Amino acid sequence: MTNSADAIISLYRRNAAAYDQQRGRKLMEAHWLERFLSLLPTAPSVLDIGCGMGEPIARHLIERGCAVTGIDSSEPLIALCRQRFPEQSWQVADMRSLALGQRFDGLIAWDSFFHLTPNDQRRMFPLFRTQAEEGAALLFTSGPGHGEAIGSFEGEPLYHASLDPAEYRSLLGENGFIVVDHVAEDPECGGHTVWLVQQG
């Protein structure tokens, strides 16, 4: 499992073109994104953590008037973001060492945070806090329960992990986030387990 977790960054670097081609552009996340946006001020700053190639999520946020900063550990995916949305800010960065020197009105880690090991996930919550403005919203996906799982992408192992929901709630609370909503395996969102939280 550890080897598969360590290989995530290189997998998305080597297979960026395939990911760009295969990632669906239909916005099944729209309901959650609208709820996320409803918690933000007008023309908000949003940090997209693990932004991929910027579609469909960052595109939707930009079209809704957000100033988006996107980070991803895959240089080829960030290059696509810069090509498609040159007016926004895109950086090659590992979310585990997130330190942008800026606070954001909203943070989103959709289908990215869950590629981290459980221990790395635990260490992310203080980083979320340091990047969040007062009252900032955070939207992220996880698994429905504690465990690790291996999927497949381009014939290679694709690592996923999750903490127990009670531990997520504890970590969020310790870092000043209040749970607005949480749905496990949301049938209206492709079975995603979704957390929408806000700085208290």
pTM, full prediction: 0.94
Are 52 and 153 in contact by the 8 Å Cβ rule? The answer is no
Task: Specify the DSSP element, H or E, that contains 193.
Answer: strand 192-199
Q: What is the pLDDT of residues 157-191, one digit of tens each?
A: 899 999 999 999 999 999 999 999 999 999 999 99
Fold (CATH) for 2-199: Rossmann fold (3.40.50)
Q: What is the pLDDT along the chain (200 residues), one digit of tens a residue?
A: 557 888 888 888 898 888 888 887 889 999 999 999 999 999 999 999 999 999 999 999 999 999 999 999 999 999 999 999 999 999 999 999 999 999 999 999 999 999 999 999 999 999 999 999 999 999 999 999 999 999 988 888 899 999 999 999 999 999 999 999 999 999 999 999 999 999 98
Question: How far apart, in whole angstroms, are the C-alpha atoms of residue 156 and residue 144?
Answer: 23
59 CB neighbour count, 10 Å cutoff: 17
CA-to-CA dists, residue 121 to 19, 26, 95, 149, 168, angstroms: 23, 28, 10, 15, 9
pLDDT at 1 (0 to 100)? 58
Closest CA to 72 of 30, 133, 31, 16: 16
Q: What is the 3-state secondary structure (H, E, C) of 17-61?
A: HHHHHHCCCCCCCHHHHHHHHHCCCCCCEEEEECCCCCCCHHHHH
Question: How far apart, in whole angstroms, are the C-alpha atoms of residue 13 and residue 61?
Answer: 24
pLDDT at 16 (0 to 100)? 84
Task: Specify the DSSP element, H or E, that contains 161.
Answer: strand 156-162
Q: What is the pLDDT of residues 49-61, one digit of tens each?
A: 999 999 999 999 9
Question: What torsion, rounded to 10 degrees, do the Cα atoms 131, 174, 165, 99 define?
Answer: 20
pLDDT at 70 (0 to 100)? 98
Instruction: Specify the pairing of strand 177-186 against strand 192-199.
Output: antiparallel
Closest CA to 136 of 148, 144, 145, 127: 127
Closest CA to 29 of 190, 160, 198: 190
pLDDT at 135 (0 to 100)? 97
Which structure tokens are listed for 179?
């749970």
pLDDT at 8 (0 to 100)? 85
pLDDT at 7 (0 to 100)? 84
